[in-house]
Amino acid sequence: MAQDYPKSKVLAALAAGLVAFGFAPILVRTTPETPALVLASYRTVLAVLMLLPYWLYKRNKNRAATAAKQKERLMIALAGVCLGLHFACWISSLYFTSVASASVLVTVHPVILILVERLWFKRSFARTTWIGVFLAFAGSVMLGISDSQIEQDFSNPLLGNALALSAALIFVVYLMIGQRIRQKREWVDYVFPVYFYTAITCVSLALAFGDDLLDISAVGFAAGVGLAFGPQILGHGSMNFAVKYVSPTLLSTLILVEPLFASVLAFFLFSELPPVGSMVAMAIILTGIGLTWKRKSREKSS
C-alpha cells in the first residue's frame, strides 16, 4: 500500500469500477458496425461532457487548488494522450479477436508494472513474483498461438491480440503518471483535464484515419453513452480515485477480475465460448499474475 487510506471509500469505489469494467467489451460488441475510433471518440467526449458540470462546480469552489505548474500540466496532457491511445488500441482489438482474449491481454499490466519497478526503480522481488511473470508471459504467447490456429468468426486474432497488448503497455504509463499527479490534486481536478486530452486524442485519431464522426447509429450512440458513464467514469474514475492511496501494482492486479466477468457475460449474451487452448492460456495468465500479488519484496533505493 502506498499510504493510509479511507478503506471503505476506496473499496466501494473499486467494487463499482470493477463491475463497470466488465461491461466494456460487451458494450463494444453491441455495435459492430461502428468504427472503433468513432466509438472511442463518443465514449471520451461524452465522459467529458458528463463531468463538466461537476468540474465547474468544484473548480469555482476551490480556485486556488486548481493552480498547476507547467510540468504538471504537461504530465496531465501526456496521461490523457496515453489513455486515448489505450482506448483506441483496446476497442480496435475487439474488432479482430475474442472478448476473452482481448480482456485478458489488456490486463497484463501488473506484470509490466513489476518489471518496470525492478528495472527502473531497482526494487527486488520474491521468487514467486518472477515465476508469476514468466507464467503470464508464457500464457500470453500460448493465447496468441491458440487464437491464430483455430477457425472462428474473428478476422485477425493475432492483430487483435497485439492491439490489446499494446493497450496494456500504454496503460502502465498512464497509471504511473496518475499515481504521481494524484498526490497533489483532487479527483475531479485530475480526471477532467485527463479525459479532455483523451477526447482530443481519440477524435484526432478518428479524423486522421478518415472516419466520419457523424455517421453513427442510435445503438452506437447508446453504447458510447454506456461506455462513458460505466467503464470510463465509474471504472477508470475509481482507479484514479484509488491510485492516490493504493500502489499501482496492487491496484492494477485487482482489475484481473474483469476478463472473467467479461467472458461470462460474452458467453450468455453472444454464446461466445473460447476454445480450450485459449481457456488454458487464460488460466495460466491469471495464475501467473495472481502470484505477483503475493510478492514479499524488499525495496532497494536506486
250-273 pLDDT, tens digit each: 677 767 666 667 766 777 776 777
Of residues 32 and 282, the one with the higher pLDDT is 32
Whole-angstrom Cα distance, residue 80 to residue 91? 16
Buried b (16+ CB within 10 A) or exposed e, 72-95: eeebbbbbbbbbbbbbbbbbbbbb
- Spatial neighbors of 74 by CB under 8 A, at least 6 apart, are none
Kindly state the average pLDDT of the residues 140-158.
Answer: 66
59-110 pLDDT, tens digit each: 876 655 555 677 888 999 999 999 999 988 988 887 788 776 777 788 778 7
What DSSP state is assigned to residue 274? -
Distances in Å between the Cα of 47 and the Cα atoms of 19, 69, 96, 174, 270 are 18, 25, 25, 17, 27
Q: Which three cell numbers stand for residue 223?
A: 453504447
Mean confidence (pLDDT) of the chain: 81
Q: Could you write out the DSSP letters of every residue in 100-163? A: HHHHHHTT-HHHHHHHHHHHHH-----HHHHHHHHHHHHHHHHHHHHHHHS--S-S-HHHHHHH
b/e code 195-227 from CB counts within 10 Å (16+ = b):
bbbbbbbbbebbeeeebeeeebeeebeebbbbb
Please give the residue that has the higher pLDDT: either 143 or 136.
136
